[in-house]
Chains A and B, each alone.
Chain A
Amino acid sequence: MGKEWTVKLILATIKPYKLEEVRAALTEIGVRGMMVSEIKGFGAQSGHTEIYRGAEYAVNFVPKVKLEIAVSAEMADSVVETITNTARTGKIGDGKIFVLDLADAVRVRTGETGQDAL
């Protein structure tokens, strides 16, 4: 063990159309992997109404893309900064970023742990 908090997990939700731009920018600064999922949720941008066959209905959850990126603690700040700068439009609904401490990371193929696994 002995690798306390040297690996961070960055959870970021962004607008779906920003995904490609964010991926490119993160690759640029040396991020070598990420997990991406299409999600729905709500925050300050609390849904909107649509109309179908003349009847209005509420869309309570807004589609977002969620990124999960495990990086070394030293890199975490620049990753957060890059996502913030790239995904920002200035309008409501740009998303959130959460940074978590990771107890450990393991590369399945080799069994390497901690930062070596990233």
Chain B
Amino acid sequence: MKRLITPALAALAASLPAAAFAQEAAAPGFDEIGPYIMTTLLFLVGGFLVFWMAAGFAMLEAGLVRSKNVTMQLTKNIALFSIAAVMYWLVGFNLMYPGEFNGFFAFNFVPTSLEPVGLAAADADLGYASVASDFFFQLMFVAATASIVSGALAERIKLWPFLIFVVVLTGIFYPITGSWQWGGGWLSQLGFSDFAGSTVVHSVGGWAALAGALVLGPRLGKYKDGKVNPMLGSNLALATLGTFILWLGWFGFNGGSQLAAGTVGDITDVGRIFANTNMAAASGAIVALVLTQLVFGKPDLTMTLNGALAGLVSITAEPLAPSLLGALLIGGVGGVIVVFTVPLLDKLKIDDVVGAIPVHLFAGIWGTIAVVFSGSATLGAQLTGIVAYGVATFAASLLLWLVLKAVLGIRVSEEAEINGLDSTEMGMEAYPDFSKG
């Protein structure tokens, strides 16, 4: 079908608009506005794909918590996304993308404003995309960061202190550290490279989650008499659906981060990113599936789901440069990381309900280092970035969690935790007809 347009027909088609425009000399041709339109479209499609990851996180977490805590987990997910959306408008976007600034912190507490209705082409930034589409796309990323924290701290944290943490994380912590790299700050000038956010988004969520898990402590009975007592997820169908939704959303996450779609080169790169992203997820899942069979004697579905996600996080720092084979290898290492670091966290008595820390923090660090193999950055720059994000986010999060603990208390009572947060904190059960698990 592609070949049906003959050169003669194509020439005719091309000449028609040119003839029409010849009447009004001022109107820009498609060559000028095409890239702006295409990139804006990329942000909109990418943005709604990344938005859908919020659904993925919600379903993954709902499936991996016990049935008595599902309503609470879902409430946290819809609340955190909505808070992130408001905070990113209020301060986040302009803190993260301040334009010229000192590279560390932009004192730019201004809410985001959009272009006027019916913007004329002459007034548009034709070299990029519409501000609205850019804002819409970028705010989806901060929501992903907050989702990572919610999964790790599930089944024992109070709702409101958690949401206060989300307010600060999405409005202040994430945008400031984000500006270091994506806002043109000191790390980007140093040569640090993080295409779609293995570190800027995923590790940041992982560090905040790790600090929270340490302050909060493990779920009651998780570690007793030197033994790990697994608490089985309530709905592996939802967990699997959530993983596939995240996988789908990731095409927007990585593909949209090309930040341009107006040339043959750019749109081809977007395609390349989609294919590499998919490959890394598939390979992470396969590696985790096979490794759990070999190491534990049975394949473990929940770790296979984590493996796919770890593959995705691993490829996120550089989804463009690698070949498909490269993407397979990078994602596969993500799968290995999951299978060996989930039990490691248990040994350290750090209770991460959904495996958020192995998937987003550990695989995020790996993905950021893996950029070195494609030659897009030096090892020194990558390690500097990893350490900078780690120290800043972990320290700031730890401090905030400790303050919240001292002032409000972040953990529900023992009775509430045993009976489940749904009946005690929410007064509403997700599965009122089921027995408690």
Contacts and interface: CB of A to CB of B under 8 A. Distances in A.
B302 A52 contact: yes
A57 interface: yes
B226 interface: no
Nearest to B296: A51
B298 A51 contact: yes
B297 interface: yes
A11 to B, nearest CB: 23
A111 interface: no
Interface in B207-242: 228-230, 232
27 contacts: A51-B296, A51-B297, A51-B298, A51-B300, A52-B232, A52-B300, A52-B302, A53-B300, A53-B302, A53-B303, A53-B342, A53-B343, A53-B355, A54-B292, A54-B295, A54-B296, A54-B300, A54-B342, A54-B343, A54-B346, A55-B228, A55-B230, A55-B343, A55-B346, A56-B228, A57-B228, A57-B229
In the A-B complex, the 8 residue pairs with the closest CB atoms: A52-B230, A54-B343, A55-B228, A55-B230, A51-B296, A57-B230, A54-B342, A53-B342
B349 to A, nearest CB: 12
A54 B339 contact: yes
A50 to B, nearest CB: 8
Contacts of A57: 228-230
Nearest to B340: A54
Residue among A51, A53, A56, A57 having the largest count of chain B Cβ atoms under 10 Å: A53
Contacts of B292: 54
B193 to A, nearest CB: 33
Contacts of B228: 55-57
Chain A at the B interface: SS class = strand
Interface of B: 228-230, 232, 292, 295-298, 300, 302-303, 339, 342-343, 346, 355
A56 B303 CA distance: 14
A52 B296 CA distance: 9
Contacts of B298: 51
Contacts of B303: 53-54
Interface string A38-54: 00000000000001111
Contacts of B232: 52
Contacts of A51: 296-298, 300
Nearest to B341: A54
A56 B226 CA distance: 12
A49 B342 CA distance: 19
A57 B232 CA distance: 10
A51 B292 CA distance: 10
Residue among B230, B295, B339, B343 having the largest count of chain A Cβ atoms under 10 Å: B230
Nearest to A52: B230
Contacts of A52: 230, 232, 300, 302
Contacts of A56: 228
A51 B296 CA distance: 7
Contacts of A55: 228-230, 343, 346
Given A51-B298, A54-B300, A57-B230, 12 more contacts: A51-B296, A51-B300, A52-B302, A53-B300, A54-B295, A54-B303, A54-B339, A54-B343, A55-B228, A55-B230, A55-B343, A57-B228
A51 B302 CA distance: 11
A113 to B, nearest CB: 36
A80 to B, nearest CB: 32
Contacts of A54: 292, 295-296, 300, 303, 339, 342-343, 346
A55 B232 CA distance: 11
A57 to B, nearest CB: 5
Contacts of B229: 55, 57
B293 to A, nearest CB: 11
B351 to A, nearest CB: 11
Contacts of B296: 51, 54
A85 B346 CA distance: 47
A52 B292 CA distance: 10
A55 B295 CA distance: 11
A57 B346 CA distance: 13
Residue among A51, A52, A56 having the largest count of chain B Cβ atoms under 10 Å: A52
Contacts of B343: 53-55
Nearest to A54: B343
A19 to B, nearest CB: 21
A55 B353 CA distance: 13
Contacts of B300: 51-54
A49 to B, nearest CB: 10
Contacts of B339: 54
A57 B230 CA distance: 7
A52 B353 CA distance: 12
A56 B232 CA distance: 12
A57 B229 CA distance: 6
B196 to A, nearest CB: 27
Interface in A57-104: 57
